[in-house]
Amino acid sequence: MSDDLREDQRIQMVAVGPDDEAEKKLWLEALEGVIDQNSYCLGNAVGEFEEQCKQYLGVDHAFGVSNGTDGLKLALRAVGVNSGDEVILPAYSFFSTASVIAHLGAKPVFVDIDPKTLLIDVDQISAAITDKTRAIMPVQLYGQTAEMDTIMKLSEQTGIPVVEDAAQAFGVRYKDQPAGAIGAAGAFSFYPTKNLAAAGDAGMVVTQNEEIAEKMRRLRVHGDIGGYQHQTLGWNARMDGFQGAILSIRLERLATQQEARARNANEYLEALKSHQLTDKIETLAQTSGSDHCWHQFIIQMDDRDRIREQLSQRGIDSGIYYPGTLPGQPCFSDLGYDEGKYPVAQRAASRVLALPIHHRLQQGDPSRVVAALAELVGTATR
């Protein structure tokens, strides 16, 4: 591959916005519909989208919220997380998995991740449980679930509820249960780079439990039980009507887009094998029983930063999710965590690379990426 790929030939990391002029027209019509209804916060468009999600996912309750972060906050509070409590989570995730816990006045208690999947190491959870533990929060990172049977068994034995950070796993199933609603509650993000993507910030909380649903419904609107009566504190965490209208259009296309992501993942896996790269480049193992929405295609290797830079020079974008561990974030320094206690997360932070996998890639793009990797890995100076 030449080093002087034209900018329009770059293999981009994300596909944000409408796919084409026809979809753009649908978006504009949908926005016009919301304007005609004059209903901008929640309203019909969000209500319709919530109903579609309930059907699509097979969940009893789904509430559109302002973003995934607010969704996690709502879900944690709805299962009873309050000031002084502890919540167990993996040491490696997007920042807000941990920040929401701290915002509720609770303490994030980190456990290391499994080296094969980079998801929470389920065998380390029970040792982290104390009499203050109020929730266990696995993260369904990159598009597949953690090993949920073990987590749910622990939850049943201890009575500690599970809240899933399913921000990256909309539509994923684990042994025929919908990610997000396997535990007591869960949250999705519809940030514009997610597999189900809004045109701005949006998210959703889901549960199969009527009581938790009632709490979520109120927490989303300042804790109002109606008539400006606030028995509990809540937030303004409503989804915008505009986002609901656009998300309904996108949900109809999701199945086709998921097929494209799965095709791309297979092409990567085949190409890595045929270039005999599997000893130099590690892919992630799949959790037994979980399917995969391929939100990200993650590889791990030594000399990651050099290879990433050289991929970019060859017209191939990539991402690092994430360059550091959660316990190592400066804002958590007062919690006194020793990053060295999370060796698997620390190693992952220096080795992961996310390759483009979105639905707009052309057939052959993953093979081009792998061909470039083959050249670059071969030239590593170590």
Ligand X SMILES: Cc1ncc(COP(=O)(O)O)c(C=O)c1O
| Interacting residues toward ligand X by CB under 6 A | 67-69, 93-94, 96-97, 139, 141, 165, 167-168, 189, 191, 201, 203
Report the residue number, 189 or 318, with the smaller CB distance to ligand X.
189
Report the residue number, 70 or 86, with the smaller CB distance to ligand X.
70
Least separation in angstroms between CB 41 and ligand X: 17
104: phi > 0 → left, psi -120 to 50 → alpha, else beta; which?
Answer: alpha
Report the residue number, 295 or 368, with the smaller CB distance to ligand X.
295
Report the residue number, 65 or 245, with the smaller CB distance to ligand X.
65
* Token pair recorded at residue 302: 């030594």
Least separation in angstroms between CB 8 and ligand X: 28
Least separation in angstroms between CB 239 and ligand X: 11
Least separation in angstroms between CB 271 and ligand X: 26
Least separation in angstroms between CB 286 and ligand X: 18
Report the residue number, 165 or 365, with the smaller CB distance to ligand X.
165
Report the residue number, 90 or 315, with the smaller CB distance to ligand X.
90
Least separation in angstroms between CB 272 and ligand X: 25
Report the residue number, 203 or 315, with the smaller CB distance to ligand X.
203
The three-state DSSP-derived secondary structure of the chain is: CCCCCCHHHCECCCCCCCCCHHHHHHHHHHHHHHHHHCCCECHHHHHHHHHHHHHHHCCCEEEEECCHHHHHHHHHHHCCCCCCCEEEEECCCCCHHHHHHHHCCCEEEEECECCCCCCECHHHHHHHCCCCEEEECCECHHHCCCCHHHHHHHHHHHCCCEEEECCCCCCCEECCEECCCCCCEEEEECCCCCCCCCCCCCEEEEECCHHHHHHHHHHCECCECCCCCECCCCCECECEHHHHHHHHHHHHHHHHHHHHHHHHHHHHHHHHHHCCCCCCCEECCCCCCECCCCCCEEEECCCHHHHHHHHHHCCECCECCCCCCCCCCHHHHHHCCCHHHCHHHHHHHHHEEEECCCCCCCCCHHHHHHHHHHHHHHCCCC
Query: What's the rounded Cα separation, in Å, for the pair 146 and 157?
Result: 18
Return the amino acid letter for 91. A
Least separation in angstroms between CB 93 and ligand X: 5
Report the residue number, 170 or 268, with the smaller CB distance to ligand X.
170
Query: What's the rounded Cα separation, in Å, for the pair 59 and 84?
Result: 31
Query: What's the rounded Cα separation, in Å, for the pair 222 and 230?
Result: 7
Which residue is nearest to ligand X, using beta carbons? 68
Least separation in angstroms between CB 143 and ligand X: 10
Report the residue number, 67 or 346, with the smaller CB distance to ligand X.
67
Query: Quick one: which of 224, 168, 182 has its CA closest to 42?
Result: 224
Least separation in angstroms between CB 164 and ligand X: 10
Least separation in angstroms between CB 269 and ligand X: 23
Residues in the chain: 382
Report the residue number, 248 or 374, with the smaller CB distance to ligand X.
248
